[in-house]
Structure formats: C-alpha cells, structure tokens
Amino acid sequence: MNQRTMANDQQRLLYLFELPQEPIQTPRGGGSVQFKLENDDTPPSVATRVGFSPSVSVPVPERKDVALQDLGTATSIPMGSAFSFFLASHRRAARDLCNVFMKTNGAEDLMQVAARVHGKVNETLFIYAISFVILRKKELHSVRLPTMVEVFPSRFVPQEALSRAQLQVNRMDPNQSEAVIIEHGPEFSGSPVKPEHRVSYWREDYGINVHHWHWHLIYPPGMGVDRDRKGELFYYMHQQIIARYDMERLSLGLPRVQKLDNWRVPIEDGYFPKLTVNNSGRAWGSRQDNTLPKDFRRTEIGDPVDITDLEIWRARLLGAIHQGYMVDRNGDKVPLRDDVTSGKRGIDILADALEADADHSVNFPYYGDLHNIGHDILAFSHDPDNAHKEEMGVVGDLGTSLRDPVFFRLHKLVDDLFQEYKLTQPPYKEEELFLPGVRIGRAGVVRDDEADVLLTGWNTREFEASRGIDFNGRPVILRLTHLDHKPFDYHIQINNDLREPKEVTVRIYLAPKFNGREQEMNFMEQRILWCELDKFTVHLKPGKNHVVRSSKESSITNLEELTFKDLENSGPGNSSEQSAFNFCGCGWPQHMLLPRGRPEGMAFQLFFMLTDYAKDKVSNPGGVRRCANGVSFCGMQDAKYPDARPMGFPFDRRPAPTLQGLPVNTTADYARLGNAFMHDVTIKFLGDKLN
Ligand code: CUO
C-alpha cells in the first residue's frame, strides 16, 4: 500500500467523523483512507474489505494517555444509545471527554487521541466532543465540520428508507457502480389528518436541526464556556425560532403555538419520529397523543426530578422578574435590568438561570434547571421510569429536538418568561429610536425584475448517506426535499441630510401583516412575530444613497452545509475567510429564510430601521470582522457580539406610549420616524414549480 499521508489538518480530522459506529479501522473516504493502529488487536476482517485497497494510510501510534481510566465518566453512556445535552450526567461525560481532547496539541495529536478513544465512548458523544474541541481550539480554526446529515443520516431519514437502501445494495450486482438513491420528503413523519403535520416539513427540515445542534455546540451550558452575551443569545435565537415557526403556521392557517403552561394535563399532540439513534438501529422513543408528563425517574441517568420542581422553579423565576432582582447564593440581590452601562444585562442573568447554565446561574440550587429538565421530562414522558426500556424521545437531543411539536410548546413557555421580563423594562425613548438627519425615502424587495412578490416552493439537496452508515462500502445518496425560495434583493433609498458621511446600521425584519383572524395587528401582538432578515452596516455619503443588498448575505443565515466531498476537495484552508468558517458554519439555513406563504399569495410586512453605527458598534480587539455569516444568531469567533443594542431591538420592549407627540398603536407608528420604513410584500408558495 502506498504510504501517502494526510495533506492537511482538515483531512487529518475529517475521517474521524465518518462511519461513527463502525470500528475506526474500517476503510473510509469511499474506501481510500484507512487508520492503522499500532499494536492493534482487532481482527483483520474488520479492516479488510473485498474490492478496496486504501491508498492513504493514517498511522496511529500507541498512546499511554487514553486508557479507560483517563476518560472519566465519558464511558458511562452506552454505545448505540442517545446522548442528551439536557441531562446533567451526559453533560458531565461530555466535559470529561472534551477535557481529554482539549489537552491535545494540534491536529495530528488530536487525531491520534481521538482515534484511540473512538469505539470506547458513545458515538454522538464522540462527535460532539471532537466538534466542540475543533471549534474551541485556536490552532484548529481552519478545520471545518462536515454536515451532521452525512455523519448521522439516521437522524434525518426514517429507518425504513435506510433499510430499503441496504437491501438494494445487498442485491446489487457487484460490478454495478451507480449510487442507490433515497428520496425523502415532503410528506415526512405524519399524515394530514393531524393539523400539526402540516408543518412537519418545517420542523423536520435538515437545515434547522443542524443549525440547532451547531448553535448549542458553540453556546453549551455547564461546559465552562462564557461567551459574550451567551444567555441573551439563548433567549434571542430561540425567540426567533418560535417567531419563524408561527409565521409558518399562519401561512398554513394553523393557530400560533401555545405555551406548555400546565404540566398536569396531557399533551395533546404525540410524536412518532421513525428514526434511529446513532445509526444503531435503536429507535428513538415515541409519544402517544394525550400523554401526561410524569416525574422523572430514570435513576440510571439522573437524579429524580418532579413536575412540582418545574412549577416551583418557574414561580421563583417569575417572582424574580416581578421584583426586579434575583437573589444569589449569599442572599445578595442581583438587579435585573437591561439599561445597564456595564456588566451583564438582566436578560443575560435571567437566561443563565433559566436555561440553566449551572456554571453561570446566580443561584442554581434556588432557581433550578427549568429549561433543561423540561426537555428531559418531555423526552421521557412515554417511559419516565424505564419500565419499558424505551429510548428517549427526539426532544432530548440537540440535533433532533425541533422535529417534535412539543419542542415549540416548551420553548414558548421559556420565551413567555423572557417576554414577561422584557415587559418590565422601560420602553425605548424617542432619542433611542430616532436618528436625525437620515431618512428612508423608499424601501422594498426586487426578485427577477419583479417588485414586492417573493416566491417559495420545494427544492432538493443531495447528501451522501454512505459517509455515516456503512452500506457495504457502496455509495448511497440521500435526496432531501426542503422548502426554498427565489433569491431577491433589498433596495433602500436613503437621504443623508447631514453635510458629512454617516455610518448606519440597517435592520430589516419581516412579519405577517394579519393575525390568524385575518385582522391587522397592534404593536404588542405583532411585536414578537418580527423575524430578523438582515442587519448590516452602510456608509452613507451626503445626499441620496441607493443601497442594494442580496438576500443571500443575511445576518442570520449560514453558507451551505459542507459535505465530506466539499471538505475532501478543500485546500489547506488558511485564508482568513476560511479560518473563521466553522463558527460561520453556525446559522439559520439560507433555504429557510422565508416562510412559505400561500399559493394565492400571503401579505407580509417588512420593517426597515436605521440606527447610528457609532452607538451600535462594539470595539473588538483586532477589529477585523472575519466572517459575517449567521452573526446575529451565532455571534463571532473570539470577539464580542457585534451590536451593542439589546438583541431584537426595537421590538424586544413594549412601545413608547407616544412618538413625536402622537400615540403609538401599531408598528406603522414607529415607521413615522424618518429613519424607519414599512412596506407590504406578498409571499407566494409555488410548490414544485419553484425551479
Ligand atoms: Cu435549544 Cu431547548 O435550547 O433546545
């Protein structure tokens, strides 16, 4: 065998993500790459495969530092079972494994240690920890993560489809080389009999689930990670997911999502994921309709928690919100307010206690663990005491939880607490909203030379399922159907009446024009439906300015998911654009930027606002903005969140009672300010006719 070695750090680490549940010695990279372990006692049958002769060999020397006892609790989660970041015991295991990986020095060292650990720890935990470390280590900034869709196809397509592909492969003539194709969607997991299934295509979209996994990798609780405004971003990113879900629901004539207000009544909607865990064949738990949440008694994975605990924690959090302060472990008051000039905003403090991040909560024993345990209670409601030995439901896993309708009911409860807090804050004053000297004359969108009509419909994207699952070394392609839209441009005419140039932040939001009763909404009703579409800085010259911006540049979206093939073909990856890529790998999927609207067209509104960049700007050492993708949802690598205003500004607070001497009832009253503008658009759903 040719002893060619790996070309760069990317290649060195990439193959650790392939075939997570197969032995590390199994040929990877379409049979071209093989890890060769020194003093390997695995039977040679594992490493040889008829018809393949790997051309790249990756030598892995014996390592004394990865004996089982060095791994702490990392080995406590059984192979093939689910890994839940919402469980304290699993977070501890993750911390132990990440600590082992963090001690390594450079890609080669990490590759050797990880290759030795592979097969000794749970598959999802392994992928989690290696991803976490790649994202955290400065020297690995040029390494990018392959998409979860290819690492764990079984989280995205039903087991039935994967088994069918396996059968097809088994029956194939060995000389046949074309790939087997698995088509999935847009029917997804349920029939239209249940209204909730009308939005399955959205909840089960691969991109939003991958985004959620990636976001929590960057902002994990209980991992000693203290990123700038982490708590506030937990609030904002999830609030925006709910707003987007509601826009989608309104498009389909469904009511807005209801918070999970009462844990003592059955949950109306069940969920049957039809997926398996870690490509292992073990099925995720299913929840019947009308399942009553029960006390958590899975003693094998965590301390018992009662529904009563959730109720007490919520009451304490509400008490703190209404009193305007939390009480820390010394009994001292910690004020909750957003208009602070230094230190953490109230929303950040509240979020750390609510999520909860035990490392950062002002008083973890008192305010508890409402959100994480909420996930756990729901994830185990079908088998709360392990009587049936059933696996957790998908709502327990970061990469699958958005699939289940109950996720949104839980997060609506969480958001309701945040909104309760936000409403205690004084409204923005006119001088905080108004920017004298700049005026928006007109603003709107243009797509293919047509103004103000945006088009959505179905599209498909292909991934290699055979990177995550071994189909006897044969190529198997997943063809996933997903919502998409035609790209468009924003056009904004701005008059700068000042005699000098001016830098402004442009904020663009989208919301439905009418509520579920087809009525126009007042400011308060529409307030939490506004979805950020974009936010960027513009340099205005004196006089007239015409700003054009592409929808593809959005401040919330990510570039395309990177496949194994993309990464195999990538160069050494050391330009500054590439070096920040992983972080930018976080972000809302571009194909989900718009809600689907309706076939006959649905009325939406755009809200534009200009604010003073001199006041918005955050000084970051180094000053270079290395990557702008997904920044509003994901922040920036090694830098502070790049907008000084509270996230969601200006809709995060109740409205000023009057502006310019007139009462404020609707968002249009904000648009009376010269630096703001509202514009109607129509979104039409074309179905299959998009392309
Ligand atoms: Cu993202 Cu509950 O925080 O799923």
Catalytic residue among 355, 391, 532, 561: 355
Q: What is the pLDDT of residue 50?
A: 65
Residue 58: predicted pLDDT: 92
212 in contact with ligand 1, CB cutoff 6 A: yes
| Distance in Å, CA 398 to ligand 1 centroid | 7
Mean pLDDT in each 10-residue stretch from start to end of the chain (691 residues)? 63 95 92 90 70 85 90 95 95 96 96 96 97 92 91 93 93 87 81 88 96 94 89 97 98 97 97 88 94 96 96 98 98 96 94 96 98 98 96 96 98 98 97 97 97 97 96 93 97 97 98 97 98 97 98 89 87 45 72 98 98 91 59 84 95 95 97 97 94 82
Res 5: pLDDT: 59
Q: Which of 218, 238, 392 to mutate to test the pocket of ligand 1 (most atoms within 8 A of CB)?
A: 238
User: What single string gives the DSSP state of each residue in 248-298?
Assistant: HHHHTTPPPPPP---TTS-BS--B----EETTTTEEPB-B-TTBPP--B--
pTM for the full predicted model: 0.95
Ligand 1 pocket, residue 122 CB under 6 Å: no
> Residue 6 has what pLDDT?
67
Cβ of 371 closer than 6 Å to ligand 1, yes or no, is yes
Ligand 1: atom nearest CA of 374 is: 2
| d(C-alpha 97, C-alpha 498), whole Å | 57
Q: Indicate whether residue 401 lines ligand 1 (CB < 6 A).
A: yes
Q: Is the CB of 214 under 6 A from ligand 1?
A: no
Candidate of 84, 209, 240, 411 to mutate for ligand 1, largest count of ligand atoms within 8 Å of Cβ: 411
Residue 293 alpha carbon to ligand 1 centre in Å: 18
Cis peptide before 655 (omega within 30 of 0): no
Mutational pocket test of ligand 1: of 232, 257, 357, 401, the residue with most ligand atoms within 8 Å of the beta carbon = 401
Pair 63, 112: CB distance under 8 Å: yes
Give the Å distance between the CA of 85 and the centre of ligand 1.
10
Q: Where are the beta strands (DSSP E) in 470-601?
A: 476-485, 489-496, 502-512, 531-540, 543-550, 557-558, 588-589
pLDDT in the model for residue 628: 57
What's the 379 CA to ligand 1 centre distance in angstroms? 12
Distance 372 CA to ligand 1 centre (A): 8
541 vs 509: CA distance, rounded Å = 24
How confident is the model at residue 41, as a pLDDT?
Answer: 77
Peptide bond before 161: cis, by omega within 30 degrees of 0?
Answer: no
Give the rounded distance of the alpha carbon of 238 from its chain centre: 9
Cα–Cα distances (Å) from 12 to 9, 59, 123, 214, 656, in that order, read 5, 11, 19, 21, 56
Give 358 Cα–ligand 1 centroid separation in angstroms: 15
How far does the centroid of ligand 1 lie from the alpha carbon of residue 615, in Å?
31
With b for 16 or more beta-carbon neighbours within 10 A and e for fewer, the 113-129 pattern comes to bbbbbbbebbbbbbbbb
CA 93 to chain centre: 22
Residue 503: active-site member: no
How far apart, in whole angstroms, are the C-alpha atoms of residue 107 and residue 680? 51
- The atom number, within ligand 1, closest to the CA of 355 reads 3
Q: Which atom of ligand 1 lies nearest, measured to the CA of 238?
A: 1
- Specify the ligand 1 atom closest to the Cα of 372: 2
Closest residue by Cα to atom 4, ligand 1, is 398
Looking from the CA of residue 234, the nearest atom of ligand 1 is 3
Q: Which atom of ligand 1 is nearest to the CA of 401?
A: 4
- Ligand 1: does its nearest atom lie under 6 Å from the Cβ of 375? yes
CA–centroid distance, 218 to ligand 1, in Å, is 13
Q: CB under 8 Å to 179, separation ≥6 — which residues?
A: 466, 474, 475, 476, 477
